[in-house]
Amino acid sequence: MTEAKDAMNKGVYVEPSKTLYAEFMKSWLEDKGMNVRKSTFQSYTYYVNSHIVPALGHLEISKITPRDIQSFYNDVKSSGSLSSENLRKLHTIINDSLNKAQKWDMILRNPAALVDPPKVTKKEVEVWDEDDIKTFLDFAKNSRYYSVFLIALTTGMRRGEILGLRWKDIDEQNETLSVVQTMDMNGELNIGAKTSAGNRRISVDKNTLNQILRLKSMYKQELMANRPLYKNEHDLVIRTSVGTPLNPRNLNRIFYSLIKQSGVKRIRFHDLRHTHASLE
């Protein structure tokens, strides 16, 4: 009451909004969809609908307290339903949405700004040694997607960059690969990396380049065999037997299956990038 009286005296009083947080988050998401990448928007939508709204959506936006937000974080952490990195993403979304509510004079101040951001506990990076690499690659040679793993280990390219690689991005004469298109976790192709630094040219060794070029003859045979079904609208270097893009989730399943069969230490696909860096 004292704060409200003081605000009225200063001419900055904000009428408390009775809008439910769930209702406000619908419009917040719509606005975000105009300014972020499709994959980022899909991520925001998931966190809002699966975590934030079920926990806080029933509250009037002007009645959300720092204690409400902190208790939500505590519940998520104790349940183990999300990693510390994803819990931090929840905070980022809540803080950003309530900042907008404050700018729009729906609340006097942002309660999330009074809550300490959840601490991110970084996982220890796992890498393969040279024996692990040799064992895995020897075993994976019979896999259709052997080239994907070889490219990752010899260039340090990310999964999305490899799956988005096109034939026109390969410079055979100068032995380079250009990163200009990526694939997100939903299998969507996006021109341009997340940052300008992501668009780059990468040197590739002769063995890896030759392995990539061998795919051309395989694809010609598959086109002949599967012509009625074959689709190649994106000029992709890595594709399925009917010419369609390879979904990242399917690649993950293949990768982990090969790891299990070969008996090497289990690591994430992204750790192939760290493995490459550790060998340089």
pLDDT at 155 over 70: yes
pTM for the whole structure = 0.70
pLDDT of residue 280: 72
DSSP-assigned states of every residue in the chain: -HHHHHHHHHT---PPP--BHHHHHHHHHHHHTTTS-HHHHHHHHHHIIIIIHHHHTTSBGGG--HHHHHHHHHHHHHHT-S-HHHHHHHHHHHHHHHHHHHHTTSSSS-GGGGSPPPPP-PPPPP---HHHHHHHHHHHTTSTTHHHHHHHHHH---HHHHHT-BGGGEETTTTEEEE-EEE-TTS-EEES-SSGGGSEEEE--HHHHHHHHHHHHHHHHHHHHTTTT---SS-BSSB-TTSPBPPHHHHHHHHHHHHHHHTPPP--TTHHHHHHHHH-
Mean predicted lDDT score pLDDT of the chain: 90
pLDDT of residue 228: 84
pLDDT of residue 138: 96
**What is the average per-residue pLDDT within 25-50?**
92
Domains of the chain with bracketed CATH: 13-114 (1.10.150.130), 130-279 (1.10.443.10)
**What is the average per-residue pLDDT within 113-141?**
92
